[in-house]
Amino acid sequence: MDIRVYSIMFASVLALILVSSENIQCPQCMHMDHTFTNMPSVYESIIGGLLASLNLSNPECQYNTLLPDPCPAPGAGNRSKCETFVFKAIGVGFSTILPTAGMAVNVVSRSCAERPVAEADTCMDVKDMSASNPELGAVLARMTSRLNTVNYTGEQCFTSANGSETAASTTAVPVATSTTTAPNIQR
């Protein structure tokens, strides 16, 4: 065989190695916790029991200390990135019957995501996401319509850093600072 054939074969193998080495590793998990304020014990036990039955408490996910898993190979024109979604909502006023009862919910989700190669690492505030994500917009609208006051913060980030590089972190992902308050409605 000619040296050019060997060069082409070597370049092809090298290209395959480089492409496959771009597959990053990301934690793949979900965490949810909640706290109550001024909630009567009967409601706290019912709501708390339902949420506890979902078995979503995962502090290792919350603080990003899980070992990452390899992301699947992305399709043509895409690359794998680590996706992190952080959301915190505080609602007060479950109708006129429980006007001072409140609940705080924290959600953290981490996973692999397939994104366009040209896309830079990015974070989007949850307030901006609701316009482009109808499902999230509907959830936020329901939440703000059913409670007297709702404040929420959160963001969704896509990063090309390996999850293993951040797995030693002991802090939660910072949360964006947007706040939305539902109008106080007398019911």
Q: What is the pLDDT of residues 59-96, one digit of tens each?
A: 999 999 999 999 999 999 999 999 999 999 999 998 78
Q: What digits encode the pLDDT tens for the residues 137-176? A: 888 888 888 889 999 999 999 998 765 433 333 334 333 3
Q: In this predicted structure, what is the pLDDT of residue 79?
A: 93
Render the burial of 46-85: b for 16+ CB within 10 Å, e for the rest.
ebbeebeeeebebeebbbbebebeebeebeeeebbbbbbb
**Residue 14's pLDDT band (cuts 50, 70, 90):** very low
Q: Is the pTM of this model over 0.95?
A: no
What would the mean pLDDT of 6-19 be, rounded to a whole number? 41
Nearest 5°: CA angle at 59, between 152 and 53? 80
Supply 147's token pair.
């409670």
DSSP 69: E
Q: What digits encode the pLDDT tens for the residues 39-55? A: 999 999 999 999 999 99
12: pLDDT strictly greater than 90: no
User: Residue 77, by phi and psi: left (phi above 0), alpha (psi -120 to 50) or beta?
Assistant: left
Q: In this predicted structure, what is the pLDDT of residue 173?
A: 38
Supply 52's token pair.
């506890």
